[in-house]
Amino acid sequence: MVRRGSSTSDHRPSARRTRRTRARRARGRSSGLSSPGGRVFAWLGGAALAALFFVDLVQGLVSAWGWWTLSLGVSVVLAAAGVWFGFRANKIRQIRRAVEVAVVDVLSPAEFERHIAALLTRDGCLQVRVVGGRGDGGVDVLARTPGMARIAVQCKHYPGRAVGPSAVRDFNGCAWTDHGADVALLVTSGRFTSAAADFGRRHRIQMVDRELLARWMVGEQILPGIRAPWRRRTDALPASEEAPR
C-alpha cells in the first residue's frame, strides 16, 4: 500500500512538467504572427499580393480595352473626383461664412460699428476711428488706406431687413462733401433693395451686404487697393472695448 501510494505521488510532478512543456510549445508556435516581426512580414506579404493583383488587373484592362481607353477612363474618374472635392470645399467655405456672419446678428449697433472698424484695422487701414453717434453726419467709421486715401463708412445693423435708397442717398451726400472721402463704404448686416444697390453703384459707393460681409470676415479682399492679409481672424469686439486708432 505504501509502495503504490508513493508510486502515484512520484508520477504527479512528471505529469505537471509535461503539461507545462506542451503549453510553452503551443505558445511558441502561436506567437509567430503576434510578434512585431511577424506582423511586419504579414503586412509586407499582404501588400505584395495586393500589388500583384493590381498589376494583373491593369494588364487585363489594357489587353481588353487598350491604353487610350484606359487612360480616358482614369481621366474621367480623376475629373469626377476633382469636381466632388471642389464642391465639398465650396460647401465648407459657405458654412464657415454663414457661421462667421451670424455673430453680427447678436451685436448692438455700436458693437457692429466697432466690429467693422476692427476689420479695417485687420486689412491694414490706418487712423481707424469710430465716430458714430448723435451728430455723426451719417458716417460711423473713418479710416485711411495704406496709401492715405480717406475712407468714410456707414454701418447699418439691419438683421433680416433691407436698406432702402433714401439711406444710400443721405450717405452719398455726407461722405463725399462733408468728410471728403476718397472711398465711401456702406456696410449692412442685412441686404440692399435693388433701387438702393443701383443708386450706390451709380455714385461709386462700395456696397457691402450680408453675403459680401461674410466673405470679408473670413479674409477676402473687398476694398480696392487694400490687400487682405491672412494674419489672423478678427472676431467682434467686446462692447466695452474702444475702437482701434
Quickly state the pLDDT bin for 17 (edges 50, 70, 90).
Answer: low
The residue type found at 31 is S
pLDDT, position 29: 53
Report which of 110, 104, 140 is spatially closest to residue 216, judged by C-alpha positions. 104
Between 220 and 92, name the one with better pLDDT. Answer: 220
pLDDT, position 233: 38
- Mean pLDDT throughout 14-32? 55
pLDDT, position 204: 94
pLDDT, position 221: 82
pLDDT, position 184: 95
Region for residue 66 given its phi and psi (left: phi exceeds 0; alpha: psi -120 to 50; beta: otherwise):
left
Q: What is the pLDDT of residues 113-122, one digit of tens each?
A: 999 999 999 9
Residue 158: count other Cβ atoms within 10 Å of its Cβ.
18
Could you tell me the pTM of the whole model?
0.56
Cell numbers 465716430 correspond to what residue? Answer: 131
Is 80 exceeded by the pLDDT of residue 157? yes
C-alpha cell at 218: 473670413
Quickly state the pLDDT bin for 236 (edges 50, 70, 90).
Answer: very low
pLDDT, position 14: 57
Is 90 exceeded by the pLDDT of residue 28? no
**How far is the C-alpha of 136 from the C-alpha of 152, rounded, in Å?**
11
Between 135 and 47, name the one with better pLDDT. Answer: 47
Residue 126, classed as helix, strand or coil, is: strand
* Residue 108 CA: distances (Å) to CA of 72, 159, 185, 225, 239: 57, 11, 20, 30, 8
Is 80 exceeded by the pLDDT of residue 58? no
